[in-house]
Amino acid sequence: MISEGRKPTHLMPNGQPTHREAVWTLVRQLKTFDVMAILRNAKGQNGLKQDNVSYYLRGWERAGYLSVEPCAQRGQAKVYTLVKDTGVNPPRVNVKGKPITQGDKRLQMWNTLRITRQLNYRELAAMASTDDQPIAVNDAQDYLFNLYRAGYLIQVSPSCNSGTLAVYRLKPAMNTGPKPPLVQRTQVVIDQNLRQVVWPRGEEVQGDY
């Protein structure tokens, strides 16, 4: 099963940006800053801590999105400057500055669902696979099941004892945007475009795509 399990992961109210998104927005606004400047300006961002901010800034620095001014004296806080602005979507890198590939398979399946009229899970696995990121049949089956349960899909035809597989189609109203729904290990489904939990209803959970 493809699920969201990497760190850092934080609980967030529905509608609020993820910590990664909130920090990146402030980076773009402030241009030059230190960790504490980010925290001072992050009003209303529940649960955002100094360690969270440092994690993102170190990763973006090592990936070349930020530069660091030489410290004038020992123990002085690092001052960062934005040198590579990629737009509103924050760069997805880890603390070492390496690209985060977790979620790529989920994105491939979501893109396939958005452009394909209808399919079963075997067709989804085959159509969404690439040479670098093949999709396992059981992962495609699990993803379809969770999206169907969360209300994203219409079941065009059910499976039957003869071996015919259930066929699904994405509901037009649930084509919410380019980011794929997250399925967490707790089976919670989160719509990253709407920034809200869609299954089960009424929970407050956040992924970090």
The ranges assigned to domains in the chain are: 19-82, 104-199
Judged by average pLDDT, the poorest of 14-18, 74-78, 85-89, 189-193 is: 14-18
Q: What percent of the chain has pLDDT over 70?
A: 88
Q: CA-CA distances (angstroms) from residue 166 to 57, 116, 129, 142, 158?
A: 45, 15, 20, 13, 4
Average pLDDT, the chain: 87
Longest CA span, the chain: 75
DSSP-assigned letter for residue 119: B
pLDDT at position 9 is 41
The 10s digit of each residue's pLDDT in 114-138 is 999 899 999 999 999 999 899 999 9
CATH number assigned to the domain with residue range 104-199, chosen from the 4 options 1.20.140, 1.10.10, 2.60.40, 1.20.950: 1.10.10
- Same fold across 19-82 and 104-199: yes
Q: How confident is the model at residue 100 (pLDDT cuts 50, 70, 90)?
A: confident
pLDDT at position 12 is 52
pLDDT at position 17 is 81
DSSP assignment string, 161-195: TTSPPPEEEE-GGG---SSPPEEBTT--EEETTTT
Q: What is the mean pLDDT of residues 11-23?
A: 74
Q: How confident is the model at residue 6 (pLDDT cuts 50, 70, 90)?
A: very low
Nearest CA among 133, 115, 106, 127 for reference residue 192: 106
Write down the residue that tokens 């489904």 correspond to. Answer: 189
The 10s digit of each residue's pLDDT in 56-89 is 999 999 999 999 988 767 778 899 999 999 998 8
- Examine the pLDDT at 7 and tell me if it is beyond 50: no
Q: Fold for domain 19-82? A: Arc Repressor Mutant, subunit A (1.10.10)
